Amino acid sequence: MRQGYCGRVPNALAVRGLRKRYGSVEALKGVDLEVGEGELVGLLGPNGAGKSTLVKIAVGLVRPTTGDAEVGGARAGSRSARAALGYLAELFRFPGWYTADEVLELHQQLAGSRGGAAERARLLELVALSDAAERRVDGMSKGMQQRLGIAQALVGEPRLLLLDEPTSALDPVGRRTVRLLLEELRRQGVSVLLNSHLLSEVELVCDRVTILLAGEVVAAGTPAELSRARGVELETDDGVRTIPGATREDAPRLVSEAIAAGRRVYGVRVLTSTLEDTYLEAVGGETD
């Protein structure tokens, strides 16, 4: 869809050694993060981890204490960086007397989009708000406003989309809409950074996930990498034994070895940890 650059394509978002201090609180303690072209990256972590601070720096709302952030190769906060992105704030509001259509029209003007009525209709359709185009923001539920916020972030076909807790006010149907939307955006090659403090089906569609805790990256990788095996459990007449580090591929060999050693094998189970386990473990929650 998009014309490639000669040579290295700059990352949609690149954050290096980012630190942010609010008085005595250190919200970010040297964070590195990249969102490649067309990549969908999830930034997970409990409340207060610093996710919103990182995104606010990326969109130019907050100035970093040290370190730098670039959007498509341009310094975060610069005009060209801002022109390349769409942003949904964690806490946002549109003027209550605007209709959904007028909100999008305002943002088309601000973003210099020439999409006109066709773009607005397409975006409202995308977030399942076609029927509410003429509804005033005051008369919308929180979930509808959040979906309108997502549509607003998509005005002007941004190269990079930053969504701060986009599903926090959504019911399961709304979350599904967002998941389908993210999959559609991935097909279109839009880069996305998605912030969330909870793991739902939406976060599971990410290409990569970074887990932030108290301003530091504590885990990063693809969901598959983060849901790695935790060993194999073998039940014999000798009792239940866990072989840590073993994977599914090791299971037949472990069974043969046990039989060769004269044991009766009653069962074998491959233990895996889900992304959720990894997440809970990383942020210090309970695991089973």
Per-position DSSP letters for 182-238, written without gaps between them:
HHHHHHHT-EEEEEESS--TTGGG-SEEEEEETTEEEEEE-HHHHT-EEEEEEEETT
Amino acid at 259: I
Q: Does 52 bind ligand ADP (CB under 6 A)?
A: yes
Maximum pairwise Cα distance, the chain? 79
Q: Which is nearer to other proteins, 62 or 234 (CB)?
A: 62
Question: What residues between 78 and 107 interact with Mg ion by CB under 5 A?
Answer: 90
Question: What residues between 40 and 59 interact with Mg ion by CB under 5 A?
Answer: 52
At its nearest, how many Å lie between ligand ADP and the CB of residue 278?
Answer: 18
Q: Does 60 bind other proteins (CB under 8 A)?
A: yes
Positive/negative CA dihedral, 51, 147, 84, 5: positive
Count of residues that interact with ligand ADP, criterion CB under 6 A? 11
Nearest to 279, CA basis, from 44, 49, 57, 99 = 44
168: which DSSP letter? T
At its nearest, how many Å lie between other proteins and the CB of residue 59?
Answer: 5
Q: Does 22 bind ligand ADP (CB under 6 A)?
A: yes
Distance of alpha carbon 288 from its chain centroid, rounded?
A: 25
**Which of 12, 15, 40, 53 touches ligand ADP (CB under 6 A)?**
53
CB atoms within 10 A of CB 27: 23
**Which of 5, 25, 63, 80 touches ligand ADP (CB under 6 A)?**
25
Q: Does 69 bind other proteins (CB under 8 A)?
A: no
Cα(138)–Cα(141) distance, integer angstroms? 8
At its nearest, how many Å lie between other proteins and the CB of residue 138?
Answer: 11
Q: Which is nearer to other proteins, 54 or 258 (CB)?
A: 54
Sites of contact with ligand ADP (CB under 6 A)? 22, 25, 27, 45, 47-53
